Chain A
């Protein structure tokens, strides 16, 4: 059972996007997010949608999985759209009945907001679909390394994150074992009201804490034995190196942003924000 757990939501693959340097992917994702909010005209929005679709196709992640990542935000998208339709005034009046006024501006804003949120979620989930948590951690460590100058222990924080990732499956396994042990002793975990069920968790949480602390001590000894003295003076086996494909991706993204700015310039902005 535990052997099937994948940490994070990495989708195993070998696409162009999988091979990109994780640092570059993080930066380009951020650039893309900024570009999303630059879109103000219909042609710009169209360009963004096309670009997003192209990215999904390049990543090789099945459309079904991408859509799955949209499920949790469906409600939010719907909610903001409805709000925008009713609250944003102006443009050509379409419906005017008592206190309800719906204008073209409202509809356009709703449409823009919905498309923007969807693109944002799709692109950022592509980042996590095509990058392992380990690569993400390493990349973040590198990107944040300037903070070392202001005494932020970046390497130590990255180590903590790696250890957390490493121990998730181990602890899930442990919870499973403790739960079974308590059930075998007659603990009733599945019945009763909220308070009763919450109380029933105590015999699981307490042993979990005790064993985690013991693990932490043993791990500390093992790390000491392997000469871990904190982040200073550490080298890394896997060096991150920017390849031509990373620069190509950066150039394409730059072109895309430029395209959006140009389209915004030549076509009428349909929303204010």
Chain B
């Protein structure tokens, strides 16, 4: 596959400043290399404190590697002169929507990024309306953010990035504070971004059912990549994933247990339908 990679990590190491309690700074990201091609939908998994958020912040230069190199569309994140261009290429959505909305009116918040870029007013108006329609928040454009639900707020935050026309969006647990319905809204939006607008998506998550929908799943452990591949191949390593303190999707778990009892099921089952079909086939074969 000869695709251009939009995000590239070359042997990246990063350590936070030494702690107050004088323990030496341990690298949080340790010799990590990674290439993400344009248009891919990548899910990043890993247990608490394994360095996922740090990885995200390394991508658009909020943090700079202690050693190694991160490039975005060919631009080095340690080059301050390119920082604005890098952030025009990679947008970021954080976990808590309350801490990333800056304006008192929905549409003004979406306009914040383009305004910072000095885009002419008429153009901003068009981009903002388009972005709000894309996330399904156009009708609520005049609302005050504190009158929105969590899922709606997070969609506003996403619209704020879409309006900047970034090629790539990094999301750090965007659904962590949402109820199932809000999660569904946000996940539908994310999928639409990737499939219809062709935006590269890096989604950090603790939800396996979200990861299953990605093109590629990366499992991190202690600042390094432990598993990397399509959801099917990654989740077929049930024991390995469990040893890393993570769960597999429920259907995968069921298939795994049935297989242990001697049933003839394939290892790459991800959802209920696949699982049901495989069980039926296995039963018929017996």
Question: What residues of chain B lie closer than 8 Å to A259, measured between beta carbons?
Answer: none
Chain A interface SS verdict (over half): helix
* A residues neighboring B (CB under 8 Å): 2-3, 5, 7, 132-134, 162-163, 165-166, 169-170, 173, 215, 218-219, 221-229, 233-239
B128 at the interface (CB under 8 A from A): yes
Cross-chain contact A222 with B113 (CB below 8 angstroms) = no
Cα–Cα distance between A149 and B57 once the two chains are bound (Å)? 37
Q: A225-B87, A227-B164, A236-B121 are in contact. List 6 more A-B contacts (CB 8 A).
A: A169-B144, A169-B146, A224-B62, A224-B87, A235-B114, A238-B111
Q: How many B residues, CB 8 Å from partner?
A: 41
Cα–Cα distance between A76 and B113 once the two chains are bound (Å)? 47
Q: List 22 A-B contacts (CB under 8 A).
A: A5-B146, A7-B144, A132-B104, A165-B104, A169-B146, A170-B98, A215-B98, A221-B92, A222-B92, A223-B102, A224-B87, A226-B102, A226-B113, A226-B164, A227-B113, A227-B117, A228-B112, A237-B115, A237-B121, A237-B124, A238-B108, A239-B121
Please, which residue of chain A has its CB at the minimum distance from the CB of B101? Answer: A166
Determine how close the nearest CB of chain B comes to the CB of A221; give it in whole angstroms: 6
Interface string of B84-125 (1 = CB under 8 A from A): 100110011010101111111101100111111111110011
Cross-chain contact A227 with B104 (CB below 8 angstroms) = no
Determine how close the nearest CB of chain B comes to the CB of A91; give it in whole angstroms: 53
Question: What residues of chain A lie closer than 8 Å to B100, measured between beta carbons?
Answer: 218-219, 222
Cα–Cα distance between A170 and B98 once the two chains are bound (Å)? 7
Cα–Cα distance between A121 and B173 once the two chains are bound (Å)? 49
Other-chain residue from B62, B94, B104, B116 in contact with A229 (beta carbon distance below 8 A): B116
Determine how close the nearest CB of chain B comes to the CB of A136; give it in whole angstroms: 11
Cα–Cα distance between A133 and B125 once the two chains are bound (Å)? 21
Question: What residues of chain B lie closer than 8 Å to A134, measured between beta carbons?
Answer: 103-105, 108
Question: What residues of chain A lie closer than 8 Å to B113, measured between beta carbons?
Answer: 226-227
Please, which residue of chain A has its CB at the minimum distance from the CB of B98? Answer: A170
Cross-chain contact B146 with A2 (CB below 8 angstroms) = yes
Cα–Cα distance between A270 and B105 once the two chains are bound (Å)? 50
Question: What residues of chain B lie closer than 8 Å to A228, measured between beta carbons?
Answer: 112, 116
